[in-house]
Structures are given as structure tokens and as C-alpha cells.
Amino acid sequence: MQSFQRNAYRMWFLFWLPLFSQGAPDWQVPLTSYGHPDLQGIWTSASVTTLERDKALGKTLIVDAEEARQLERQSALNVLTEADSGPSDPDRPPPADGDTDAGYNAFWIDPGTRLAEINGGFRTSFIVDPDDGQIPYSAAAGIAFFQYGQDSGYDGPEQRPLGERCMVGFGSSGGPPMLPVLYNNNYQIVQNENYILILAEMNHDARIIRLNDKHKDNIFKPWLGDSVGRWEGTTLVVETINFHPQQSFRFAIKHSLYLPQTAKVIERFSRSDRDTILYEFTVEDSNAYTQSWSAEIPFRKSESPMYEYACHEGNYALPGILGGARREEASK
């Protein structure tokens, strides 16, 4: 009986082995000289996929290639880029009302042209939970948004958004969570045994992640928060708390996010293939949200280098913004 079982097992093994071998991947996660998974390189998150899903798509997270191309053609950013990609007319007259609303043409922007692709499926939103693709804000968050609107203005530079003041990048580009914006969506990752540095091209924001360490006392609330990481197999897991109170409201053309200083962001970085890092994150705060929420973004190996980011050199734009407000007040 035992001989029969051994022979049956051998026959089963010999039958299935070629099939298993055919499907075996020839790529493995690269390791550093000290044995950690190697995440280093320049990566881009550029994509027309947005953080939150178009409500018209309901709970449809994944679409096929044909549906993806249709959504890409309809993307407002793609439509704008195509319409504005021609050469400028040097003889065009000035705008009649003095309000150009055209600080950039298509030459200056690089938001991506395709929907994010993960495991062969094209994503209609980065948010995967809740399944409607929306940030589950609480009533308290709504009050915070209202108060922020009341406190914003042009009385001084402190009332202007952080990106306008060149303090950090626009929106949540520097993270966490790290979200794509209108341009400069590259990230460079550098690591050693004890630290990992993520340099965002947008506003050259640099985040240093301490490995196998404890969070600092909550009196320290740096820009981009306090990040501590650890390895779980081949995945880097990073927990960030103690966010700077001025960084709670993060606005960009492609997303708006309220992330209070009491929030926790848990990130996961996994090499899914030679040219991709799967970036996953979960945001928790029982006061700001009715539940935790999670998202997935593919970081693809960038074909371009990191460029130096000059945030309106000399900060000339900010005096212009405030000076314009003074003129408007004087004209009333």
C-alpha cells in the first residue's frame, strides 16, 4: 500500500512539475549588500487616476483596457493638455479682464496620461476601501474644512497654502500619504541598514524613515510627520504619526485631503516586479473619518532623472499675490 502511494505521488509530481516550472517567475526581489530588499532608484506615480473615484462610476474600481482608454480620453487633464499643447501665439492680445488664470500651459505639466495599472487591471481610483472610492469624512472633518475656509485669506503669508509659500509640496505630494499632483511626480529612494530616505521631486521634500526605532515624543511634529519603518519579509512597513498642525489641509488640482495632526498613516512598499513598487497605505483617525481608509498606487521606474525644483525663485510670487489683494481692496 505504501509503495502504491509513493508511486502515485511520484506520478502526480512528475505530471504537474513542468506546469509549475513554466509559471515560475525568473525575477526575484533584489537585495542590498546587507540583505534588505532593495527599493532604491527613481520612481514615478504620475497617472490620471485620482485619489477619490468619480461618483458616476459607483463601486467600479477596476476596468478593462478598452474602458480604460475611454476614461483616459475623457480625463479633464488629458483634454486640457491636448487642447493646450500647441505653440503659443506671440502676437495674441492681452486678456481683457486682466485675469489670465493661465500660469501654465501644457509644456509645464506632467500629470500622467494613463490610468494606474495593478495586476493587469486599470484603476478608477487609488482608494480601494471603502468600496465607493470616497474618503469617509466625519461631521467633525466637515466642520474643520469650514473653519479652514474661514481662516484662509490674503491678510498675510501665513494665510496662504503651504505649497504657495514653498514650505512643502502642493497637496500631499511629499506625503505621507504620497499622492501624484500636476507635475514633478518623481521620487528617489536611498537606503542603508538603519534609514531610508524618500526625496520627492516636488519642492524637494525629503522624508527620513528610521528603521526599527520608536516614535519621538509627540511634542515633535515635523513637516511630513515622524516616520518609523520595519521590514516584514520583502515589504517595507512604515508608520507615521505626529503630523505638523499646519499640514492638515492638503489641496492640489488632483486631490484634496484633510489629515489632522492626530492621524496615523501606515504605508507598505513592495517590489512587485523589476519596474514597479506597489505603494499601499491606510489612514486612521477616529475623529476625522467614520472608518479607516486605504489606497494603492503603482510606482513605476522613471525614465527621467530627478530635476531640481525651484519654487518661484526668490519667492517673488508671494508678494505679488498679497500685493494684488491690496490693490483689489483699494479698488472697492
Report angle CA 128, 129, 130 to the nearest 5 degrees: 125
Q: Which of 253, 2, 224, 307 is nearest to 103 (CA)?
A: 253
Is residue 4 pLDDT above 50, yes or no?
A: no
Distances in whole angstroms, Cα of residue 140 to Cα of each of 193, 243, 258, 288, 294: 41, 18, 11, 6, 20
Rounded to an integer, the average pLDDT of 4-29 is: 50
Is residue 127 pLDDT above 50, yes or no?
A: yes
Give the three-state DSSP class for 204.
helix
Q: Which residues pair with 149 in a beta bridge?
A: none
CB atoms < 10 A from the CB of 38, how many?
Answer: 14
Residue 2 — very low, low, confident or very high, per pLDDT cuts 50/70/90? very low
Is residue 230 pLDDT above 90, yes or no?
A: yes
Query: For residue 160, what pLDDT is reported?
Result: 87
Is residue 7 pLDDT above 70, yes or no?
A: no
Is residue 122 pLDDT above 80, yes or no?
A: yes
pLDDT digits (tens, 9 = 90+) for 202-217: 999 999 999 999 998 8
CA distance 253 to 192: 35
Is residue 100 pLDDT above 70, yes or no?
A: no
**Cβ contacts of residue 96 below 8 Å, gap of 6+?**
none
Query: For residue 10, what pLDDT is reported?
Result: 43
Query: For residue 282, what pLDDT is reported?
Result: 98
